[in-house]
Amino acid sequence: MTVSRQEFRDAMSRLGAAVNIVTTDGPAGLGGMTVSAVCSVTDDPPTLLVCLNRGSPQNRLFKDNGVLCVNTLAAGQEALSGLFAGRSADADMPERFANASWGLLATGAPALDGATVSFDCRIAEVVERGTHSVIFAEVEAVRQGAASRGLIWFSRDYHRIGAE
């Protein structure tokens, strides 16, 4: 049995995932994009797996900078997610970043103020697979936010989770 691309995409819409804005900065420039394909790989050394679409003009930027920060969004940050997802074609990268407050941790990649958590990472390895770059990112710093409610993407829509 062969699973079609659309059938797979429809099935994956039923797999809830945290909403993240993944950022980078360095010699190649400032960048950021909304990503739901993020997961833990191991705690020794602390490593995340981050999948970035190879068709995105920002894909090369992340690889060239060699650093990224995974900023997990809190409830109420849906508009920022949409902005970094490119839903506003008029907003260039500096305008996107101007819509929130940012800090720095260890690598120089922007860490979102108000995120539930930010994982500041160096890219350890990249595997190209189909339409995506699978990035193994070693965590150098973590900042936990005060937000008690998170944001997930499920069935092609945002949902707020957690206690009030």
In Å, how far from its chain's centre is CA 63? 14
Reported as a single tens digit per residue, the pLDDT across 54-91 is 999 899 999 999 999 999 999 999 999 999 998 655 56
Bridge partners for 140 per DSSP: none
What is the pLDDT at residue 89? 53
Spans of all domains in the chain: 16-32+42-156
> Residue 74 has what DSSP assignment?
B
Task: Report the length, in residues, of the chain.
Answer: 164
Look at residue 74 in the predicted model and tell me its pLDDT: 96
Distance CA(137)–CA(160), nearest Å, equals: 27
In the predicted model, what is the mean pLDDT of residues 108-119? 97
Q: Residue 79 belongs to what H/E stretch?
A: helix 78-84
Phi then psi for 22, rounded to 5 degrees? -100, 130
Q: What is the mean pLDDT of residues 28-36?
A: 95
Please report which confidence band the pLDDT of residue 47 belongs to, taking 50, 70 and 90 as the band edges.
Answer: very high
Give pTM, 2 decimals: 0.93
The pLDDT, as a whole number, for residue 88 is 54
| Predicted pLDDT at 1 | 73
CATH of domain 16-32+42-156: 2.30.110.10
Q: pLDDT tens for residues 81-96?
A: 999 998 655 568 999 9
Q: How far apart are CA 132 and CA 117, in angstroms?
A: 24
* pLDDT cut 90: percent of the chain above it: 83
